[in-house]
């Protein structure tokens, strides 16, 4: 699967891993990976170290997750973006909305 | 919209084609199928099956595998080919044992497999299951056709309602090739009252219909504000506010915008688009403007946007591209990328066919592979020749201004401190004037006069910037940097006021008096005006031209209060004459 996710045992952290192309094709499965999580203060980390491509729909999907997270006082972190993806994030100046950890 | 029921298909679809070389098998199947409720067509070999299929277009095929001449596997392949986009399920039947037979049947295009001998009940439920898949498939196809239709409409809206209103200058070259799934690239151009041209290349998130939602408000805001003379920063801020209110989370607009003056000065902004390139005549990259802001519609306000001010050489070109160019993918999954773009751009500049060369390079690279995203290119030359006639808005009657010959009025605005940075009083004044006086050709003149006088008052009066800086192309950039910095430190005692008085004497053309006053300490205006007069023929001077222009447009231009107050008198209707 190009996307898989895991929830930590204390339910405070959701880790989403994406490989290959992060684009519109993942729309539904990306949503599914966090929709059921409704606890307060959850940190969602999206690991993009193995994603080689990201399109604008995917940027939009991250914003949707951010909205979902912040409604319950949580937050979103993008982890280790692959260079190709880091470039897309930079062009969109996404560091202004989401924490990006290299 | 009414929904076609998925089983509403021609009766011909309820036929079943039975293919078997054994008469006994055919007859057994026929009796079972008639019992279920089908019309049955019989074929005794593969070739006959293919012929009968095309003739009857059955809804289902039951295919024996082992047959002489053409076996069931080859016949299935040909039938699937003939069916094209229509889904015709084929159930393979064999008495042979083993995984291999099943594997081969399915791999060669069969949809299911029944092992002989089988009972009536097994056949009935197998057919039922496969009909469910058939129905689903038809539903998907129906939705697909529906969506395609809606996308065509979306594309129509784009080309007719939005891009049709673009000013047509053959000097600015626009090229767009939409992907088969329309992908939201939008190109808009419009002229400011002073003759500057605003050009925007945008790329909405998503594909198909969703990408069209924001296009109409985008185009309307862009055109209306450009026509009223607002600066790029204000146009972009307003588009951002509009889209933020309108678009749901996750949808936004990456965009780049260029404001181009006829003398080659330009203001460039990039929010989420690929680098904007300024190319020399030899095709070298002279300057690169990276994305300095996020795309529009994400945050409610965009403070401190990053603008690049630059001066183009006459032979320079600005190249704007959408990511569809860089991310065009060939069959090997390789991207077109920047290296190929730069190379094609260099050749294109030298051959004077920038966009054509790039598109040919993309096509050669794609080798017929379909593009996934819209591809947009815009080429803006270093100098744009403006003609007075092209400035007039279509459909505006330049003649008629005022009905009431005797009425006059006054209007004024005073901006203090921080508001000087935030508010554009010229656009406000102009829209007030248009409100009172109606449309007309003279607005271009008045816009120029107001802009020059306001900018002088702010830059040289309040901010005290030396205009000598502007006398070189490099200093021009420095000038804007200083200006930005000074604007950040405005004290509340700083002000610029604009006072407009319209005087209408009976029988004469009416007069507009424009007074601009600033909190600065003034300047030696007499000497300044003399110097300008001396240098009138000196084409290289970048400073002082604004005042010359204002002098040419006005009946009179008088400085007072040591130069911190200036009054211009403009006669309605005579403006364009004065230009000549």
The CATH number assigned to the domain with range B11-142 reads 3.40.50.2300
Contacts of A24 in chain B (CB under 8 A): 206-207
Q: Are B77 and B108 in contact (CB under 8 A)?
A: yes
* Ramachandran angles phi, psi of B269, nearest 5°: -130, 140
Contacts of A90 in chain B (CB under 8 A): 291
**B329-356 residue pLDDT tens:** 998 888 999 999 999 999 999 999 999 9
Per-residue pLDDT, B540: 46
A83/B contact by beta carbon, under 8 A: no
Query: To the nearest whole angstrom, how far is the Cα of A22 from the nearest Cα of chain B?
Result: 13
Judged by CB atoms closer than 8 Å, whether chains meet at A93 and B273 is answered as: no
**B163-177 residue pLDDT tens:** 777 776 678 888 888
Per-residue pLDDT, B1: 44
Nearest to B205 among A57, A91, A97 (CB): A57
Looking at beta carbons, which pairs linking B301-305 to residues 24 or more positions away fall under 8 Å? B301/B237, B301/B240, B301/B241, B302/B236, B302/B237, B302/B240, B305/B233, B305/B236, B305/B237, B305/B269, B305/B271
Judged by CB atoms closer than 8 Å, whether chains meet at A24 and B207 is answered as: yes
Give the domain CATH number at A82: 3.30.750.24
Judged by CB atoms closer than 8 Å, whether chains meet at B203 and A56 is answered as: yes
Per-residue pLDDT, B84: 86
DSSP strand pairing (A13-22 vs A43-54): parallel
Environment class of B239 (CB within 10 Å of its CB; exposed 0-12, middle 13-18, buried 19+)? buried
**A48-59 residue pLDDT tens:** 999 988 888 899
Counting the structural domains of chain A, the total is: 1
Residue ranges in chain B whose pLDDT is less than 70 = 1-13, 168-169, 180-182, 208, 386-407, 439-441, 470-473, 505-509, 532-545, 573-580
Nearest to A92 among B207, B295, B327 (CB): B295
DSSP strand pairing (B185-191 vs B409-416): unpaired
Per-residue pLDDT, B209: 74
Do domains B11-142 and B166-381 share one topology? The answer is no
Q: Which residues contact B96 (CB under 8 A, 6 or more apart)?
A: B65, B66
Nearest to A63 among B290, B298, B327 (CB): B298
Residue spans per domain, chain B? 11-142, 166-381, 399-579
A60 pLDDT above the threshold of 60: yes
Question: Which residue in A31, A55, A60 has the most chain B C-beta atoms within 10 A of its own C-beta, making it the best mutation to test that interface?
Answer: A60
Domain encompassing residue A72: 3-101
Judged by CB atoms closer than 8 Å, whether chains meet at A57 and B254 is answered as: no
Topology given in CATH for the domain delimited by B399-579: Heat Shock Protein 90 (3.30.565)
Nearest to B249 among A24, A63, A93 (CB): A63
* pTM of full prediction above 0.90: no
Per-residue pLDDT, B275: 96
Q: Tell me which residues of chain A, numbers 31 to 50, contact chain B at a CB-CB cutoff of 8 Å.
A: none
Strand order in the sheet with A13-22: A3-7, A13-22, A43-54, A75-79, A99-101
Q: Which residues contact B54 (CB under 8 A, 6 or more apart)?
A: B82
Per-residue pLDDT, B4: 41
Number of cross-chain residue pairs from A and B with Cβ atoms under 8 Å apart: 55
The CATH number assigned to the domain with range B166-381 reads 3.60.40.10
User: Distance (Å, rounded) from C-alpha A16 to C-alpha B160?
Assistant: 43
Per-residue pLDDT, B168: 66
Q: Are B341 and B279 in contact (CB under 8 A)?
A: no
Q: Tell me which residues of chain A, numbers 62 to 81, contact chain B at a CB-CB cutoff of 8 Å.
A: 63-64, 67
Judged by CB atoms closer than 8 Å, whether chains meet at A60 and B299 is answered as: no
User: Distance (Å, rounded) from C-alpha B70 to C-alpha B452?
Assistant: 86
Judged by CB atoms closer than 8 Å, whether chains meet at A91 and B291 is answered as: yes
Per-residue pLDDT, B398: 31
ipTM over 0.85: no
Three-state DSSP string of B50-119: HHHHHHHCCCEEEEECCCCCCCHHHHHHHHHHHHCCCCCCEEEEECCCCHHHHHHHHHCCCCEEEECCCC
Per-residue pLDDT, B573: 55
A57/B contact by beta carbon, under 8 A: yes
């Amino acid at each position: 699967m190009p996307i898989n996710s895991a929830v930590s045992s204390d339910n405070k952290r959701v880790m989403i891993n994406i490989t290959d192309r992060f684009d519109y094709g993942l729309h539904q499965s990306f949503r599914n990976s966090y929709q059921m999580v409704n606890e307060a203060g959850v940190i969602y980390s999206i690991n993009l170290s193995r994603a080689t491509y990201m399109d604008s729909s995917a940027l939009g999907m991250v914003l949707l997750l951010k909205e979902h997270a912040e409604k319950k006082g949580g937050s979103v972190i993008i982890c280790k973006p692959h260079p190709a993806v880091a470039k897309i994030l930079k062009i969109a100046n996404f560091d202004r909305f989401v924490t990006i950890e290299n | 919209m009414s929904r076609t029921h998925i089983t509403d298909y021609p009766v011909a679809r309820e036929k079943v084609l039975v293919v078997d070389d054994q008469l006994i098998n055919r007859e057994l199947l026929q009796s079972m199928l008639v019992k279920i409720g089908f019309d049955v067509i019989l074929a005794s070999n593969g070739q006959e099956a293919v012929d009968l299929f095309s003739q009857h277009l059955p809804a289902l095929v039951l295919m024996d595998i082992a047959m002489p001449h053409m076996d069931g596997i080859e016949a299935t392949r040909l039938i699937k080919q003939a069916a094209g986009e229509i889904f015709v399920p084929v159930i393979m039947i064999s008495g042979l044992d083993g995984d291999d037979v099943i594997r081969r049947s399915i791999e060669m295009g069969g949809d299911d497999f029944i092992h002989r001998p089988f009972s009536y009940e097994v056949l009935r439920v197998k057919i039922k299951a496969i009909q469910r898949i058939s129905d689903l498939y038809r539903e998907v196809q129906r939705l697909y056709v529906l969506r395609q239709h809606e996308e065509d409409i979306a594309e129509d809206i784009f080309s007719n309602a939005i891009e049709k209103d673009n000013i047509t200058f053959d000097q600015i070259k626009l090229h767009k090739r939409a992907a088969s799934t329309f992908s939201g690239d939008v190109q808009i151009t419009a002229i400011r009252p002073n003759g500057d041209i605003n050009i925007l290349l945008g790329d909405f998130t998503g594909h198909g219909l969703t990408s069209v939602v924001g296009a109409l408000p985008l185009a309307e805001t862009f055109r209306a504000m450009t026509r009223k003379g607002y600066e790029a920063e204000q146009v972009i801020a307003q588009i951002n506010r509009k889209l933020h209110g309108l678009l749901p989370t996750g949808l936004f607009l990456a965009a780049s915008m260029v404001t181009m003056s006829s003398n080659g000065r330009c203001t460039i902004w990039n929010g989420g688009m690929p680098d904007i390139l300024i190319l020399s005549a030899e095709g070298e990259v002279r300057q690169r403007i990276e994305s300095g802001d996020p795309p529009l519609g994400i945050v409610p306000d965009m403070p401190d946007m990053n603008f690049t001010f630059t001066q183009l050489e006459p032979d320079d070109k600005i190249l704007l591209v959408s990511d569809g160019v860089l991310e065009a993918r060939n069959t090997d999954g390789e991207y077109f990328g920047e290296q190929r773009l730069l190379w094609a751009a260099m050749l294109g500049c030298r051959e004077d066919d920038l966009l054509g060369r790039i598109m040919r390079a993309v096509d050669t690279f794609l080798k017929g592979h379909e593009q996934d995203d819209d591809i947009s290119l815009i080429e803006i030359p270093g100098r744009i020749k403006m003609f007075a006639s092209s400035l007039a808005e279509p459909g505006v009657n330049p003649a008629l201004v005022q009905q009431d010959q005797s009425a006059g009025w006054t209007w004024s605005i005073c901006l203090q401190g921080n508001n000087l940075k935030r508010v554009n009083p010229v656009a406000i004044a102009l829209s007030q004037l248009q409100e009172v006086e109606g449309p007309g050709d003279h607005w271009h003149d008045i816009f120029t006069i107001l802009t020059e006088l306001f900018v002088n008052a702010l830059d040289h009066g309040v901010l005290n910037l030396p205009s000598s800086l502007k006398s070189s192309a490099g200093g021009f950039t420095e000038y804007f940097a200083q200006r930005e910095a000074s604007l950040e430190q405005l004290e509340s005692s700083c002000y610029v006021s604009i006072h407009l008085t319209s005087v209408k004497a009976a029988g004469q053309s009416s007069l507009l008096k424009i007074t601009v006053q600033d909190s600065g300490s003034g300047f030696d205006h007499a000497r300044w005006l003399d110097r300008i007069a001396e240098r009138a023929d000196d084409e290289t001077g970048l400073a002082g031209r604004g005042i010359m222009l204002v002098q040419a447009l006005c009946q009179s231009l008088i400085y007072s209060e040591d130069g911190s107050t200036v009054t211009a008198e403009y006669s309605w209707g005579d403006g364009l004459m004065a230009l000549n």
